[in-house]
Structure 1
Amino acid sequence: MRRSWKGWVAAAVVCGAAPAALAATVVEPRARLSLEERYDDDFRLSSTGDIDGQLMTKVTPRLGLDVKDPTLKLESFYAADLLMRHGSGKVTLDHRLGLSVRKMLSRRLRVEVSGGIYRVTDPASLPRESVARAAQPVLYGQTRLYVSGRLSRQVDVGAGYGFEGVRMLFGDKTPGFVHNPYAELWLRTTRRLSLGAEYRYQGFIFGDSFDQAHGVSAALRYRLTRQTTFTARGGPVSYLGGDGTRGLVPRVKLELLHEARRFDLGLIAGHDLVGASGFTNVLWADYAGLVFNHHFSQRLSVYGAASFFRNGRAPGEGAFSFNGGSSVAQGYALGAGVEFKINRYVSMQGAVDRIAQVGVAEAAEDVNLTRNVAAVRLHMTAW
C-alpha cells in the first residue's frame, strides 16, 4: 500500500490513459533534505534509563512522487531519519513511508486511499499519541479506504475501512491490530447544515485476545462561515470482550476546522474505544488536540500545537473518575515553532516541544516519557 506497487500501478494507469487525459497528467518527483540540531532530555538517551539531556544531529532525506490529473491526486514519499547523539555516541535510523490517493470515478463517485508505515525508535514521532510507550523501537502502520457517492442533491452515502497495527520490535512482544469497517449517510437539510448517521464495527486483536465493538452514531455538520466548519458525532458503543466482559461505552467526537489564506486552526476532542497500542488490547480513550498555523507573509509563519490523552482498560475502568489510579495513563504535549522561507528551495525552522506523561505505572511498562526538546532545522528542497 506504499510507494511500492500501488503507487507504480496508479502511475501506469494514468500513463496508459487516452492521449487527452495523458496531456493533462502531471508527474512530479520530490526530493528534500532536512538538517536538524536539537537538545533532547528523553530518557532513552541514557543507557541506565535516567533523564540525561543531550545535543544531537538529525539528517532526514525525503523522496516522493506526485501524480495529478483532473480526476486523480496521488502523493507518495519515503523518508529516513538518521539520528546521531553527541553525548552517548548512539546512532539510530528510522524509516517512514506514506501514500495518499484521491480518484474521482465519476461526478458522483469518489475513492480515497491513504496509509503509512513507520519503523521508529521514538514513539512520540508517530501520528497517534499513546502508542507503544516503552523504551524500544516500534513498527506501526495505518491505512484508510473510503468510497463516497451522491445519491441525490441532498443525500450522500459513504463506506470505509480503517486498519491499525503495532508491534514493539525487541523481545517477545505481541502485535496488536484493529479492523474498522463503517458506513454512513449524510442529508443536507440546508446550505449550511447536514445531518448524518453511521454504523461502525471494530475488531481488536492482541495475541490470542479478540474483542469486538458495535457502534451507531448520529452526526451533525454545520458550516459556521465559508472558512469554518463544526462537526459532531455521538452515540453508544457496545463492547464485547473475548473474556466475557460486556459494556456500553459513549462515543463522542467534536471537530472544529478553520481554513483561511493566512490562518488555519483545527480543534478536536472526544471519547472512544481504541486499540493497537502495543501493550494491551482495547482501551477507552479521552483525547483533545489543537493545532494552528498563522502566515504573517509568504515567507514568515508561526505554528503551535497542544494535545492531551487519557486512557485505561475497556470498557470503562476509571474513565469517569479523576483519580483513576495506576490503571489510567494520561499525558499532554505542547509545541510551538517559527518558519522562515529564504526562497522556494530553502527554509529554516525553530521549535520547542514539551511532552509529559503521568500515571503510566501499569499501562506503559513503568516508564515516564516526560521530555523537553528544542530544535533548529534547515530544509532544502531540490525539486
Structure 2
Amino acid sequence: MGVVDGGWRAGRRATVKGNWKKWLLAGLMFAAPAAQGATIWEPRLRVTAEERFDDDLRLGGDGTGQLMTKLTPRLGLEAKDARLTLDSFYAADLLMRHGSGRTTLDHRGGLEARQLLSRTLRLDAAVRVFRVTDPSSLPRDGLARSTLPTFFTQATLGVTNRVTQRMDVRAGYRFEAVRIIDVGQQAGYAHTPSLEAWYRTTRRLSLGLEYRYQGFLYDGSLSQAHGAALGLRYRLTRPTTLTVRGGPVRYLAPLGQQGGWVPRVNVELQREGELLDVGVSAGHDLVGANGFTNALWADYASVLLARRFNQKFSVFGAASFFRNGVAPSVEWTVFRGASRVSQGYAVSGGVEYRIDRRLAAQGAVDRIAQVGLADSASTVDLTRNVFAVRLVVTPW
C-alpha cells in the first residue's frame, strides 16, 4: 500500500509538473478580457532648460539682442486601453531676459483622444489652448501682427463611420478663436462644420468628396462661406501618402462689404518612417479668427523634416511661408507693397543628441520674419533671430 501510495503521489507530481504551463496559459486566456478592458493611466513629466540669444524687439530688447533663460516644465497624462487612446498636457514657458530683467510666463495646454465606439464607428477629438506673450510661437502662421499678448484656441471633433468595406463617411467640426489681449480688442471666431466621404478604389488610391461651411465672427459682424471640394489620397509607399483637395468657395461678406468666389487648393505629402519623417503642405484657402478682421484669404506652404541617424543622434528642420489679405480676393496677386497684404516666413533647424532614455541635448537656430503689416496693431519690426541650446529631462 505504501509503495502504491508513493507511486501515485510521484505520478501526480509528474502530471502537475508537466501540465503547469497548460494551466497557466488557460488562466491567462480566461483573464485576458478583463486585462484588455482595464485602462492604463500614465503620468508624464518633461522639463526643458534653454539658454538663448534673441534679438526680438517685441520682447523688450533694444535691437542688439540679449541672452535669455527659458524654463519649460511640461506635465502630461496618457491613457490607453483596447478602445481608447488619450494624450493630454499642460506646459508653462518661463522666459527670463538677462539684459532688460523682464520676465514673462506663457501657458500652453492640449488634449487628443480617439475612441472606438464599435468596429465601424470612431470618435476623435483634439483641443489646444495658448496664452502667449510671443504670437510668433503660435501654431498658425499670420497671427504675429502685434507686440501684444495673444490668446488662441483650436478644437476639432469628428465622427467616422465605415459604411461599407470601401467607403468611410466623416462628420467633423472645427473651432478657432483668437483674441489680442488689450483694451478695446475683440475676439475673432471661426466655426467650420464639414461632411466628407472617402471611397477606396484600390489598396492605394482613395477618392473623396467634401462639403464645408465656415462662419466667421468678429466685432459683432458675421460672414459665411460655403465650399465643395474633390479629394484624392494616394499611398506612394508604405509610409508615404499624398493628399490633394480642391474646389470653389463662395464667400458671403457682411452687409456693406464685398463677397465673391475664392479657390481652395491644398496639397499634402506625409511620410512617417523609422529613420525619416517628412511633411509638406501648400495651398490657398479662406481663413478667419485672426483678431483683427473677419475673414482672410491665405496662401501657405510649409516643409518639415526629421532624420534619425541612430538611437542617439537626429537632425530636424522646418520652413514655412504665408501670405494673406482681405477676403475674398482683394489684391491677392500682389506679393509685396500692398497695404492690405501681409506675408512672412519662418526657417528653423537643429540637432538632438540623446544621452540616455531620460536626458537629451539640443541646439537650434530660428529666423522669423513678417514682411507685411496689414491690419497690424503696431508698426514695430517683427523680424527676429534665435540661437538656442537646450537640455531636455524626462524623469517619467
In the alignment, is the contact (CA less than 8 A) between 1:132 and 1:277 conserved in 2? Answer: no
Aligned to 1:340: 353
Matched, 1:355 2:368: yes
* SS, match of residue 44 in structure 1: helix
Aligned to 2:106: 94
The partner residue of 1:192 within 204, 209, 231 is 204
In the alignment, is the contact (CA less than 8 A) between 1:327 and 1:363 conserved in 2? Answer: no
Aligned to 1:11: none
In the alignment, is the contact (CA less than 8 A) between 1:45 and 1:53 conserved in 2? Answer: no
* SS, match of residue 325 in structure 1: coil
Matched, 1:27 2:41: yes
Aligned to 1:293: 306
Measured in 1, the distance between the counterparts of 2:213 and 2:164 equals 27
The partner residue of 2:181 within 133, 158, 169 is 169
Counterparts of 1:210-225 in structure 2, within 5 Å, are 210-225=222-237
Aligned to 1:12: none
Q: Could you report, residue by residue, the CA deviation over 1:57-89 in whole angstroms, capped at 9, with x for unpaired residues?
A: 001111110000111100000101110000000
Aligned to 1:43: 57
Counterparts of 1:234-313 in structure 2, within 5 Å, are 234-244=246-256, 245-313=258-326
Measured in 1, the distance between the counterparts of 2:158 and 2:332 equals 31
Q: CA deviation at 1:51?
A: 2.5
TM-aligned CA distance change 1:180 to 1:346, over 3 Å: same
TM-aligned CA distance change 1:97 to 1:304, over 3 Å: same
The amino acid across from 1:258 in the alignment is: R
* SS, match of residue 73 in structure 1: strand
Specify which structure has the higher proportion of helix.
2
Measured in 1, the distance between the counterparts of 2:89 and 2:375 equals 37
TM-aligned CA distance change 1:104 to 1:44, over 3 Å: same
In the alignment, is the contact (CA less than 8 A) between 1:318 and 1:324 conserved in 2? Answer: no
The amino acid across from 2:339 in the alignment is: S
Q: Could you report, residue by residue, the CA deviation over 1:9-41 in whole angstroms, capped at 9, with x for unpaired residues?
A: xxxxxxxxx971566422100011110000011
The amino acid across from 1:156 in the alignment is: D
Measured in 1, the distance between the counterparts of 2:336 and 2:59 equals 32
The amino acid across from 1:179 in the alignment is: H
Q: CA deviation at 1:367?
A: 3.3
The amino acid across from 1:330 in the alignment is: Q
In the alignment, is the contact (CA less than 8 A) between 1:293 and 1:302 conserved in 2? Answer: yes
Measured in 2, the distance between the counterparts of 1:322 and 1:141 equals 29
* SS, match of residue 124 in structure 1: helix
The amino acid across from 2:392 in the alignment is: H
Measured in 2, the distance between the counterparts of 1:58 and 1:154 equals 50
Measured in 2, the distance between the counterparts of 1:359 and 1:31 equals 39
In the alignment, is the contact (CA less than 8 A) between 1:132 and 1:279 conserved in 2? Answer: no
Q: Count residues in correspondence.
A: 364
The partner residue of 1:108 within 103, 114, 120 is 120
- Calculate the TM-score normalised by the size of structure 1: 0.92
Q: Which runs of 5+ in 2 are unaligned?
A: 1-31
In the alignment, is the contact (CA less than 8 A) between 2:320 and 2:346 conserved in 1? Answer: yes
Measured in 1, the distance between the counterparts of 2:218 and 2:179 equals 10
Q: CA deviation at 1:271?
A: 0.3
TM-aligned CA distance change 1:23 to 1:112, over 3 Å: closer
TM-aligned CA distance change 1:323 to 1:354, over 3 Å: closer
Aligned to 1:365: 378
Identity of aligned residues (%): 58
Matched, 1:118 2:130: yes
Q: Which runs of 5+ in 1 are unaligned?
A: 1-17
Q: Could you report, residue by residue, the CA deviation over 1:304-334 in whole angstroms, capped at 9, with x for unpaired residues?
A: 0000000000000111233461110001100
In the alignment, is the contact (CA less than 8 A) between 2:228 and 2:248 conserved in 1? Answer: yes
- Calculate the TM-score normalised by the size of structure 2: 0.89
Q: Could you report, residue by residue, the CA deviation over 1:108-147 in whole angstroms, capped at 9, with x for unpaired residues?
A: 1111000111010011111111114211111110100011
Report the aligned-residue RMSD: 1.5
